[in-house]
Structure 1
Amino acid sequence: MPEFVLVAGAWLGSWAWDEVVPELRAAGHGAHPVTLSGLGDRRGVPAGQQTHVRDIVEEVERRDLREVVLVGHSYSGIPVGQAAERIGDRLARVVFVDSNVPADGESFASAWWQGPAALEASIAENGGFWAPLTAADYDGQGLTGEQIARIVGGSTPHPGATLTEPAVLTRPLGGLPATYVKCLLDGPEPSADVAELLTNEHWRLVEMDTGHWPMFSRPGELARILHRSATQS
């Protein structure tokens, strides 16, 4: 059975998948949520973007996983997309959950909607970290007050270098077998770079009628989508 390696986005740790993991395991899959360096219970560990790529690759290698489905949410699509090409024939599929995707030589900040300088300034003002969102920032994303409180309470500042260092890809991302999960409350259409990737025969689009954090708002539905993605060819 496929082995899922689950990586949540900025500010979050492995705990973000607590309601998804039991569903996957009940379906017979392995499920391995990862906390990236500098976040959650690994707070204080120095981290750049390539550190996060290594975190993911090392999880796969340490557990000697095969038939791996890498899952990257939000920011983590960038290191997950790079890790996918580095684990070779261990990879079965990549699932990008409403996420950024890596482009060789480009960073997360490169595509920031206010421009990279704005994000870099915010990181500098916060001592080299990207400050977590406030409760109000989660409005309109299909989350209950309890779910928002859980996310805010568990979030930790995100290491800024992971957002400003460039991605390193050795071959086109469109050649990987991939599913892109678009969460419609966060915008009705994928970004232009994702739309271009979806023209590749190896890529599939799945839509969810929820917000940007479906592991909290719709964990059962997300688990079922992940399960189905593992059977795609």
Structure 2
Amino acid sequence: MTGRDGGADLAPLSPFDPVVILIRPQLAENIGTTARAMANGGLFHLRIVAPRDGWPQERAWYASSGADRILDAATVHETVDDAVADLHRVFATCPRPRHIIKPLMTARGAAAELRTTAQQGLRSGILFGPERTGLDNEDMARADTLIRYPLNPQFMSLNLAQAVLVMAYEWYLTEDTTPEQHFMTNETHVATKGELENFNAHLLRELDACGFLRNEQKKPGMIRNLRHLFTRGQVTEQELRTLHGVVRELSHNRRSKQP
């Protein structure tokens, strides 16, 4: 079964990327939105253990928003043991404290560990429990590491797709090179010092001509302040052209009124 148009052009990035394993999911829509969350983070491999309403279910494809190919490639397993049999590392999300002695990691720490595991050519998986109850102790016994998200301790309630999205996002960040901040200029460019100086000279000529700089004692400080105003940030070439037009129009109006 596939979506109506085949969905986005998704494909496995690597056989060693983490496998998302849904344990006894209850609603088809939640499986579909999980696939959507996976696609956002660059995860492809989905395994479903004992889905309550069977599989496949058309509602999952409708809820996936185009992540059809993840659902098309998903495999169904009767038991958790079967779903993890070919994996080298198994992580399990654990929203509530349990009386279990295992390594416990944050989502970010687990994502870094998952990336290292993949780079070593080893296969890994992440267990996500049923919507209402989460993983039970028997499920977590199959994992070697637990993951607990550092969220508001007064309200730690995520739906299934949200829980998957947190891990998918952290996984994606482990190799993301997007700068934390950049300056959008679209069709223009950041003005050069020469372009800024050209505008400053234009502005100062007109300010001198209209008498704004008539106080000789204050004039040097006023000029410095104007220079600081236009050089302390990233002014674009388009913005400078606009300012040139403003100054030109103001000076034109002034001169046209002179006798």
TM-score by length of 1: 0.32
Which has a greater percent of strand? 1
Could you say which structure has the greater relative contact order, defined with CA pairs below 8 angstroms and 6 or more residues apart?
A: 1
